[in-house]
Amino acid sequence: MLFFTQCFGAVLDLIHLRFQHYKAKRVFSAAGQLVCVVNPTHSLKYAPSRCAAVQASTEQGILPPCHHHEAVHDPQLVPCTCPLFSCPWEGHLEVVVSHLRQTHRINILQGAEIVFLATDMHLPAPTDWIIMHSCLGHQFLLVLRKQEKYEGHPQFFATMMLIGTPTQADNFTYRLELNRNQRRLKWEATPRSILECVDSVISDGDCLVLNTSLAQLFSDNGSLAIGIAITTSKVHSSEAEM
């Protein structure tokens, strides 16, 4: 009986996981899309990233410490770009992906089109859902954040960042799509470079923004499915043809 109970429990867990994937795939008509179930990263005490701190100090007329030690500061070093973590790591752009995977355990999916299934949307802000997307020879960081821009009014912000330079980011276009209950919402834009800081992108509102009621219209039992597609820009494509 004990063996039967354990096996039966494992089968139920497997069925539940498969059902989650099936629901996400059912939302989108395109066949063969990869589905990634993303669990939230929640912090009771939000620690702003260092790029946000540098931006704030600059606006107040206070130079960051690295400006006083230009002789020893390497301008090619990039701070940790993972949101919701106060991480002291610095490294070159080429090793950002390995740092995010090894230190912060962020999953990575490959493919031009994937489905990002964020669970537990009801958790209090601030909460992040993060995944890396490998496509067209580059890596992108998708960040979905639940944050209060005004006290008592949480909003959801979704953006795609290229782990590369701003010049490289201009060569791509990303599309985020929500589709449920005969409603469809699309956001299409050029990804921002990871060097520009996720916090500043969200503060500027240059991303997909959902209030709580709108997010509930597209959610299913506390989960939000976002279709992601990345293409090369028309300018880049024409240059390649020439």
Q: What domain range is 84 assigned to?
A: 31-39+76-232
Task: Name the percent of the chain lying above pLDDT 70.
Answer: 67
DSSP string, the chain: -HHHHHHHHHHHHHHHHHHHHHHHHHHS-STT-EEEEE--EE-SS----HHHHHHHHHHTT---GGGG-TTT--TT-EE---TT-----EE-GGGHHHHHHHHS---EEESSEEEEEE--TTSPSSEEEEEEEEETTEEEEEEEEEEEEETTEEEEEEEEEESS-HHHHTTEEEEEEEEETTEEEEEEEPPEEGGG-HHHHHHHT-SEEEEHHHHHHHEETTEEEEEEEEEE-HHHHHHHH-
Q: Tell whether the model's pLDDT for residue 235 goes beyond 70.
A: no
Domain assignment of residue 241, yes or no: no
Q: Tell whether the model's pLDDT for residue 20 goes beyond 60.
A: no
Residue of higher predicted confidence among 234 and 159: 159
* pTM, entire model: 0.72
Domain assignment of residue 3, yes or no: no
Residue-level pLDDT at 57: 38
Domain assignment of residue 239, yes or no: no
Residue-level pLDDT at 214: 93
Domain assignment of residue 211, yes or no: yes
Domain assignment of residue 86, yes or no: yes
Q: Tell whether the model's pLDDT for residue 83 goes beyond 80.
A: no
Which residue has 């390649």 as its token pair? 240
Domain assignment of residue 206, yes or no: yes
Q: Tell whether the model's pLDDT for residue 78 goes beyond 90.
A: no
Q: How many domains does the chain have?
A: 1
Q: Tell whether the model's pLDDT for residue 104 goes beyond 90.
A: no
Task: Name the percent of the chain lying above pLDDT 90.
Answer: 39
Q: Tell whether the model's pLDDT for residue 11 goes beyond 80.
A: no
Domain assignment of residue 9, yes or no: no
Domain assignment of residue 54, yes or no: no
Residue of higher predicted confidence among 19 and 212: 212
Confidence of residue 209 (pLDDT cuts 50, 70, 90): very high
170: domain CATH number is: 2.60.210.10
